[in-house]
Amino acid sequence: MKQNRSDNRMHVMTDLSPSLVWFRDDRRLGDHPALQAAMDRGGPLVLLYILETDAARPHGGARAVWLHYSLTALQAAIEDRGGRLILRRGSSAEVIDAVIAETDAGAVFWNRRYHKPDRDRDAAIKDDLAARGLTVESFNGNLLVEPWEVETKSGTPYRVFTPFWRAATDGLDVTDPIPAPQQLDSCVPDVSSDGLADWALMPTNPDWGSKMMDYHTPGEAGAQARLADFLDGPIEEYAEGRDRPDKALTSRLSPHLAHGEISPRQIWDACKDNDYTSRKFLTEIGWREFSYSLLFYNPDLATQNFNDGYDAMAWDHDDQAFEAWTRGRTGYPFVDAGMRQLWETGWMHNRVRMVVASFLIKHLMIDWRDGEDWFWDTLLEADLASNAASWQWVAGTGADAAPYFRVFNPFGQGEKFDPNGDYVRRWVPELKRLPKKYIHQPWKAPKEVLTDAGIVLGRDYPDPIVDHKSARERVLSAYKTARNSA
């Protein structure tokens, strides 16, 4: 399956019509089955990315920022190999038609996606092009196993992660990742392209987006470097340390995976020594696969309770409390640290995500969909499947969810997973002089300790906006009422 430079040149000299490769959330050159299929077919390449104006859910703000940098990196990688990426904005069917008309492309290739509105659109395009005599093929470029490949014995989708992952990995033969082509110099020249800057994906006034990039390096090369760094050390401590937000022991590959700058096959291949710690890490990749299966079978995952037994839940509509949560001013340092990390970096540690989500849903009794939406806008890696599935997991409304009566204790979690308070001190600097005994519960600190730390509660840092114990009782009673009325 390897493509080499001379093969590539040969295609240019043939009379074959061009092959169009439609890049979506698979912005890489390595392990890109659609690109490989186009190169195997031969003919000049038309490499296209469409900013879809008919997307079911438009990009959130942070995701759009990553997209900007990701496309910049993809353009550069393609140009380095002698090729060219065409950017167009519009409805996907119309853009594809226009580009085919302009280039005389005779074949179209893409990697599949799994949300029903996207699948329906892709299927309509495929049918239309095939009816017009074009070759159209789609591939699995983004998952280890596609949703329909993992079913229970009775042919239904799994609702629980462990048996899903057992079935998915049972006899799983992950093919070797496809190497990135070295040359793309058979690309069709002279087709008009939008300028990336014209898409205005970057925020201005203020430009909070480029600041986020102090923490990340979008693009395929950045993804590979991140994986290499992770495998070079942190993975050894991953199984034990992955819940510690004060330590950088997780891979932080999520934005790269969500944007398709690295494929799960490439990660699997890199971890295939299959020791205990690699297996633990790959299990997390398994949660991503499970989330996609859930989204595939439940297209409304981001808007409808997976378990409709909670549809009658009486959520609160407290704008002030919601704003305190978004700004990291709830008075619970571990929650506030997480929300501020998200705001500044576009990413948050998984343990803290669970705690902040639980706090919004359980302590403030605000609908999980409002939290999902906030993450959609602020996470660089906002991912329809993983985000919705995770919010529902925390809410207790999802598949294989945490039981509704699990209410994360926002200071207990901090004491357990940030035992010295380093994570809080990093993101809530006004508390940095508090001794670790009080860092997760400043309201318990004696007055002189607060004075020594230079803090007046209610002035420099908020008092807790809700009382933990009574909030817990309130939400448990609301959940019970909702269940009883279902």
Q: For 259-381, where are the alpha helices, taking DSSP H only?
A: 264-270, 276-297, 319-327, 333-345, 350-358, 368-378
In 3D, which of 68, 84, 86 has the Cα closest to residue 76?
84
The count of other CB atoms within 10 Å of the CB of residue 405 is 12
Pick 196 or 380: Cβ nearer ligand FAD = 380
How far is residue 91's CA from residue 93's CA, in Å, rounded to a whole number?
A: 6
164: tokens are: 């899903």
- The one segment of 13-21, 279-287, 293-301, 474-482 that binds ligand FAD by CB under 6 A: 279-287
Interface with ligand FAD includes 242 (CB under 6 A)? yes
Q: To the nearest whole angstrom, how small is the minimum distance from the Cβ of residue 359 to ligand FAD?
A: 11
Query: Applying CB under 6 A, does 254 fall inside the site for ligand FAD?
Result: yes
Instruction: Single out the catalytic residue among 137, 208, 343, 350.
Output: 350
**Catalytic option among 137, 151, 284, 430:** 284
Binding residue (CB under 6 A) for ligand FAD from 32, 68, 88, 288: 288
Is 368 part of the annotated catalytic residue set? Answer: yes
Residues 365/315, Cβ–Cβ less than 8 Å? yes
Cβ-contact 401, 390 below 8 angstroms: no
Is residue 38 within 8 Å of 20, Cβ to Cβ?
A: yes
Q: Which of 391, 393, 409, 427 is catalytic?
A: 391
Candidate list 125, 253, 399, 407; residue touching ligand FAD; CB under 6 A: 253
Among residues 19, 169, 251, 278, the one that binds ligand FAD under rule CB under 6 A: 251
Name which of 353 and 363 has its Cβ closer to ligand FAD.
Answer: 353
**CB 315 to ligand FAD: min, Å:** 16
**What's the min distance (Å) between Cβ of 132 and ligand FAD?**
37
The residue annotated as part of the active site, out of 199, 315, 343, 443, is 315
CB of 376 to ligand FAD, least distance (A): 7
Decide if 350 is catalytic: yes
Nearest residue (CB) to ligand FAD, 357 versus 445:
357
Supply the minimum distance, in Å, between the C-beta of residue 150 and ligand FAD.
Answer: 15
Kind and range of the H or E run holding 137: strand 135-139
List the catalytic residue out of 66, 165, 347, 368.
368
The tokens for 126 are 């495929």
Would you count residue 169 as binding ligand FAD (CB under 6 A)? no
Report the interhelical angle of 350-358 vs 410-417 (nearest 10°).
170
Q: What is the CA radius of gyration of the chain?
A: 24
- Exactly one of 66, 287, 325, 376 is catalytic; which is it? 287
Q: How far apart are CA 300 and CA 388, in angstroms?
A: 9
Q: Which two tokens stand for residue 367?
A: 């609908």
Question: Which region among 40-48, 86-94, 146-154, 252-260 touches ligand FAD (by CB under 6 A)?
Answer: 252-260
Q: Is 63 in the site for ligand FAD (CB under 6 A)?
A: no
477 burial type by CB count under 10 A (0-12 exposed, 13-18 middle, 19+ buried): exposed
Q: Are the C-beta atoms of 388 and 302 separated by less than 8 Å?
A: yes
State the Cα–Cα distance between residues 18 and 108, nearest whole angstrom. 9
Per the annotation, the verdict on 22 as an active-site residue is no
Two tokens, residue 238: 């991953």
Q: Return the residues of window 347-406 that contact ligand FAD according to CB under 6 A.
A: 350, 353-354, 357, 375, 379, 381-383, 386-387, 390-391, 394
Q: Catalytic positions, please?
A: 284, 287, 315, 350, 368, 391
Binding site for ligand FAD (CB under 6 A): 242, 250-254, 257-258, 284-285, 287-288, 291, 350, 353-354, 357, 375, 379, 381-383, 386-387, 390-391, 394
